[in-house]
Structure 1
Amino acid sequence: MTSTTEKVDVGFRSERGPILVSLMLCTGLVALDSTIIATAVPSIVDDLGGFSSFPWLFSTYLLAQAVSVPLYGKLADVVGRKPVMLFGIGLFLLGSVLCGLAWSMPALIVFRAVQGLGAGAVQPMSITIAGDIYTLAERAKAQGYLASVWGISAVVGPTLGGVFSEYVSWRWIFFVNIPLCLVAAWALQRRFHETVHCTRHRIDATGAALLTVGSTMLVLGLLEGGQAWAWASVLSVGVLGGGVLLLVGFVLVEQRVPEPVLPLWVFRRRLLVVTSLVAAAVGAVVLGLTSYVPTFVQTVLGHGPLVAGFALATLTIGWPLAASQAGRLYLRFGFRATALLGGSVAVVGTGLVATLTASTSVWSVAGYCFVVGLGMGLVASPTLIAAQSSVDWAERGVVTGNNLFSRSIGSALGIALFGAIVNLAVRSGETPAAVETGSQHVFLAVAVLAAVMTVAVLALPGRDTPPAVAAPGLAAPVGAPSAGAPPAGAPSVGVRPSAGAQPVGVRPSTSG
């Protein structure tokens, strides 16, 4: 039985503590790699050349990660979480080794894509496994631990990248992943045990191909439109138009196949649609701040990269702090009320960011970003947990993958929107005054998106009080039938019970 007064046992010394540590290590692979490379770019360009191509080091990684997430989510619901996670770690390890051995910028770009494909499995599987092994009351705190890895990486990553580049070699920013991958895989293999009853499945190869290629073209068009090519160019229209047509074909195919790779019911359930829209807004808001706050601090306020990184790091510090406490709020007041509170805090924070000028102190910037982080922690975690908790085990991978994919699409849309805004502002040249104007316009757009996100939260179903409070007794030990267990004939998975079985999640009454 779970209640608002239940003691939440999510510590590292608990029975599931080693699994949580392994999940944090896995998350750390993706989080550290997304921050450590930023300060190493000058060294990489000096060694390999290709200055004009270095943005692709980020684009290909993001692209490969984004388009592969829905496929891994579906696969995890078929074969289990552990094989997909281990495959992702292995692929990430391979990509890291190849990146460290890269002999040219084109080769490094290709190998970054391999890394991205591995990251596409690691991040959603960490969140999905946490959703499997923790009760509803515990998930927020577990998600807070996972989110804290991003906060640590935001501080450690750039510094570590600079140290490797200056004193050793930029190649070590990739080689450092080798021991991390091995330890993460070993911990997961040793501590997380699954019992998967596999049945015969028909692979939706056509749907997977259409989704992958269509999403790739769409995200690529959004990432590079207005940057690598003009929005109105034939290439831009062809890439975006082709992506849309392929995705339309994907929808038509998914309506006919018995086991779609991305079931269309995720677009028909009110709760899942709303949480996906919120995830997209979260991706855009975070992208806008992480891309332009450091530039503003360095160019307009005149501080160095280290100070700029600190100003932004407060966002990723506030996020896990709020996320870890979100469980107490949504168990008492519901998912919608908690997310609405978070959205309101985020609106206040982004509104303060929109007031930044050349006379603002860097401490104010850091404080404003911290407020935004607090708001995001109370929005992103509860809405994701609400989506996960509304489905059974056999659907949780798909739902988690779709939520993270929506966040990636929101980031890509944010890149396109904010890039267009800045390009209009700096036509006369990248002077501090022009950068200040462009950044202020971006921050205003971010504040508007935060407000839109908060309005979207209002559309969440009203009956979102977790049944752990409204109807006790739904939680059950792993292996026992429950609302969180797969239906008859479907794969079952969980932490193998030993002395004191771990409870699985429960399903809130969140249907629209």
Structure 2
Amino acid sequence: MTPLVLLFTVSFVIAVDNRIIAPLLPSISTSLEATPGAAGLAIATYALAYGVAPLLYGPLSDRHGRVAVVRVAALLFCVCTAAAGLAATLPQFALIRLLTGAFASAAIPLTLTYIGDRFAYGERRTAIGRLAATTSSAQALSASVGGIVAHFVSWRVMFVGYGALTLLPALLMFRLDPGRPETPPESHDSAVGFVDLLTDRRAVAVYLVVSAEAFFLWGGYSYLGAFAARRHGLDQLQVGLVLALFGLGTMTGGLLVPRLQRVLSENALVRAGGLAMGAGFAALIPRWPWPVYACAMLALGLGYMALHTTLQLRGTEIAPAARGKAFSLFALFLFSGSALGTALLGRLIDAGRDDLLWGLCAGGLALVGLLAARPRVGARP
């Protein structure tokens, strides 16, 4: 297999892990004798590590190569995933998930960076779209599998089994020729530092926009399951299947967006993406039947692909001589926005202010799409 195929494979198995824990939370909390809110600490620690660790992986990959870093992190990810199934207490489980998040965070950002190294800007969207379709199909699978596991199988068996299953692609990466250069020569030992990147106005504009996108999208997405159960009376299995439609929408969008690029400008795509996500959240406000909820998930997924893949594309263009560092900041802002949105918007769902929550997410994402089309955010005609 080529390095890119293996990077896509590892990204797939890690993307499954990214979202699989949410449907399992009730089972985990019962088993570890904790409240669901306390057990949710495992999600927060995972997200925290996932956002911060790329700051280390970026410079390491600039020096040693993308594949060299990903294969070590992927192997440690397998070990930690299996170990999570053996945790005896909640603190143990949360600590293991923190380590899992740290090791998981190498694959997808560095695969995007690898694409930036190997493809010209005009060809990059197709490769990014294929990666997005790969990870999106994984997330669709994880939502449905998570719901099924929560219903029928022990969560411990799932973690141990999944850790063993993901060992194969991790080991295959070690068969790649270690002497093969994986980054352009100019990207090694770059003098470009984090301070330089954070004082670049265009780079900061991209980072802030992706952080705002994550705040409203993932901050709202975190509570879609609780909302579906409360308003429509869906059980865990049904919630998992409905949320899988978001993954189906992103998977479809990943295949459609490169084709749409042939007839639409980049600016038109990001505007359409923001408006589609805004419409998806807005559709949750009226008390329509649950099939409308399902359609809203598809709209969110399609819009996400149009907007987010464009932001990823621009992220790979920041500081080509230090692409690993630049994209590690992209990941940090992305997951910081997600964590902040989840924390703050959760207060609205607890207060029963569902309509206000969805209204904020709808308006916020529509605005993000408009801002992303401005020249200062790296927009191209």
8 A contact 1:32–1:153 mirrored in 2: yes
Match of 1:38? 22
By how many angstroms is 1:461 displaced?
Answer: 4.3
- 1:26 corresponds, among 3, 6, 10, to 10
Match of 2:231? 300
Q: Distance in 2 between matches of 1:192 and 1:269?
A: 36
Q: Distance in 1 between matches of 2:283 and 2:95?
A: 40
Deviations for 1:143-189, whole angstroms, at most 9, x for unmatched residues?
A: 23322344333443244345556655322222233344322223333
Give ranges in structure 2 of 5+ residues lacking alignment.
Answer: none
By how many angstroms is 1:448 displaced?
Answer: 2.0
- 1:52-67 paired onto structure 2 within 5 Å: 53-67=38-52
- 1:489-508 paired onto structure 2 within 5 Å: none
Match of 1:369? 297
The 3 A distance-change label for structure 1 pair 116 and 161 is same
Q: Distance in 1 between matches of 2:78 and 2:84?
A: 10
By how many angstroms is 1:133 displaced?
Answer: 3.0
For 1:373, what is the secondary structure of its paired residue?
A: helix
Q: Distance in 1 between matches of 2:295 and 2:76?
A: 38
Give ranges in structure 1 of 5+ residues lacking alignment.
Answer: 1-16, 203-257, 427-433, 467-512
The 3 A distance-change label for structure 1 pair 266 and 459 is farther
8 A contact 2:223–2:346 mirrored in 1: no
- 1:306-455 paired onto structure 2 within 5 Å: 306-330=237-261, 334-353=265-284, 355-357=285-287, 360-392=288-320, 394-423=321-350, 426=351, 434=352, 438-455=353-370
Q: Provide the aligned length of Structure 1 versus Structure 2.
A: 377
Hey, which of these two has a bigger chunk of helix by percent? 2
8 A contact 1:314–1:370 mirrored in 2: yes
For 1:176, what is the secondary structure of its paired residue?
A: helix
Q: Distance in 1 between matches of 2:305 and 2:44?
A: 26
- 2:76 corresponds, among 91, 104, 111, to 91
The 3 A distance-change label for structure 1 pair 457 and 280 is same
For 1:389, what is the secondary structure of its paired residue?
A: coil
Match of 2:95? 110
Report the residue type matching 1:25 in the other structure: T
8 A contact 1:330–1:337 mirrored in 2: no
By how many angstroms is 1:463 displaced?
Answer: 8.1
The 3 A distance-change label for structure 1 pair 178 and 377 is same
Match of 1:227? none
Determine whether 1:460 maps to 2:375: yes
The 3 A distance-change label for structure 1 pair 177 and 137 is farther
Report the residue type matching 1:367 in the other structure: C
Report the residue type matching 1:284 in the other structure: F
By how many angstroms is 1:453 displaced?
Answer: 0.6
For 1:171, what is the secondary structure of its paired residue?
A: helix
User: Relative contact order, CA 8 A, sep 6+: which one is greater?
Assistant: 2
Moved more, 36-45 or 26-35: 36-45
The 3 A distance-change label for structure 1 pair 441 and 95 is same
Q: Distance in 1 between matches of 2:101 and 2:378?
A: 38
The 3 A distance-change label for structure 1 pair 323 and 160 is closer
Match of 2:64? 79
8 A contact 1:29–1:180 mirrored in 2: no
For 2:155, what is the secondary structure of its paired residue?
A: coil
TM-score (norm 2): 0.87
8 A contact 2:47–2:101 mirrored in 1: yes
Q: Distance in 1 between matches of 2:328 and 2:106?
A: 9
- 1:276 corresponds, among 207, 215, 222, to 207
Q: Distance in 1 between matches of 2:377 and 2:226?
A: 41
By how many angstroms is 1:321 displaced?
Answer: 2.4
Moved more, 26-35 or 408-417: 26-35
Q: Distance in 1 between matches of 2:145 and 2:123?
A: 33
For 1:50, what is the secondary structure of its paired residue?
A: coil
The 3 A distance-change label for structure 1 pair 140 and 187 is farther
Deviations for 1:92-114, whole angstroms, at most 9, x for unmatched residues?
A: 12212321222222111111111
- 2:115 corresponds, among 130, 135, 142, to 130
The 3 A distance-change label for structure 1 pair 192 and 159 is farther
Q: Distance in 2 between matches of 1:168 and 1:367?
A: 29
Q: Distance in 2 between matches of 1:168 and 1:299?
A: 24
Q: Distance in 2 between matches of 1:137 and 1:191?
A: 28
By how many angstroms is 1:115 displaced?
Answer: 0.4
- 1:100 corresponds, among 61, 85, 88, to 85
By how many angstroms is 1:411 displaced?
Answer: 0.7
In terms of Rg, which structure is larger? 1
Q: Distance in 1 between matches of 2:211 and 2:379?
A: 21
Match of 2:181? 195
By how many angstroms is 1:34 displaced?
Answer: 2.5
By how many angstroms is 1:269 displaced?
Answer: 3.1
The 3 A distance-change label for structure 1 pair 297 and 192 is farther
Report the residue type matching 2:324 in the other structure: G
Match of 1:49? 33
Report the residue type matching 1:124 in the other structure: P
Report the residue type matching 2:76 in the other structure: L
Report the residue type matching 1:458 in the other structure: A
Report the residue type matching 1:282 in the other structure: E
8 A contact 1:148–1:317 mirrored in 2: no
Report the residue type matching 2:338 in the other structure: S
Alpha-carbon RMSD across the aligned residues, in angstroms, is 3.0
Q: Distance in 1 between matches of 2:292 and 2:240?
A: 14
